[in-house]
Amino acid sequence: MAIPQPLWNRRALRHEDSLVVADLHIGYEFELEKKGYIVPSQTDNMIHGIREMLAETGAERLIINGDLKHNIPQGSWQEYKEIPKALDSWLKEVDEIHILKGNHDGGLDSYLPSEVILHNSAGAVIDGIGYFHGHATPSEKVLRTENIVTAHSHPAVSLKDGLDRKERHPCWVKFNFSRDDLHGKGIMMPTFNELLGGTCINEHGYLGPFFRNYEIYEDTVYLTDGTCLGPRIELMHSEE
């Protein structure tokens, strides 16, 4: 079976007839505004970017692997306005939209057109691949696909430049996992929304119950342009 492959420089995956993105966090600018930072909405850019990738790849299905929206427990005017606009735009390009519920997606049901398929936080199997956001324990059915896609950690890597200054870069992680008789391969996605920060995985590790409860090994880090940085453990040692 073919496994999902990153689209380098695009923060998206392609698998069969599906395009996959994660962590859009529509409404994040509203939170920044409350803190005194005025930042233009990035939603139109994300709408255009996804439509462009759908056209380029010919994908017939869009999968959003969690955290389409941002504000919890209540939504904002920005989300009420921009989420339906985004989904309606993408539905003009694809036959299906699937959303794997993330920890910021409470109340998302009220935003969704009837054509959108919302899966719970345990994840779903789509075209033989197990998808789950990562804040909750995935189902055994998802893990038994042996090829999984997760998000949630907002993975980034901390690197030092020639002057010993640290810079944070979003990244992909490809890994192997096992526990008892469950084992397989996985990919962790970076955030699609470029405004968001990230968790430096070579300093703090991964988030969520799956990574606490399974052995993770041969986890290899890639920058979003496709540059392979090698095993995470070696990057951890380079920061010491």
| Class of domain 5-238 as given by CATH | alpha beta
Cα–Cα dist 215/81, whole Å? 42
Q: Which residues lie closer than 8 Å to 157 by C-beta, 6 or more apart?
A: 168, 169, 171, 200, 201, 202, 221, 223, 229, 235
- Look up residue 103 and give its two tokens: 């920890």
pLDDT of residue 38: 85
Task: Give the number of residues written for the chain.
Answer: 240
- Stated pTM of the model: 0.94
Contact by Cβ (8 Å): 165, 219: no
Other Cβ atoms less than 10 A from the Cβ of 14: the count is: 19
Which residue, 20, 42, 57, 221, is CA-closest to 133? 20
For residues 171 and 229, the answer to whether their CB atoms sit within 8 Å is yes
Q: What is the pLDDT along the chain (240 residues), one digit of tens a residue?
A: 678 999 999 999 999 999 999 999 999 988 888 888 888 899 999 999 999 999 999 999 999 999 999 988 777 889 999 999 999 999 999 999 999 999 999 989 888 988 999 999 999 999 999 999 999 999 999 999 989 999 999 999 998 776 778 889 999 999 999 999 999 999 999 999 999 988 899 888 899 999 999 999 999 999 999 999 999 988 876 554
Helix (H) or strand (E) holding 232: helix 232-238
The residues spanned by each domain of the chain are 5-238
Q: Which residues of 67-99 are buried (b: 16+ CB within 10 A; e: fewer)?
A: bbbbbeeebbebbeebbeebbeebeebbeebbb
Return phi, psi of residue 42, to 5°.
-95, 0
Q: Which two tokens stand for residue 152?
A: 């949630």
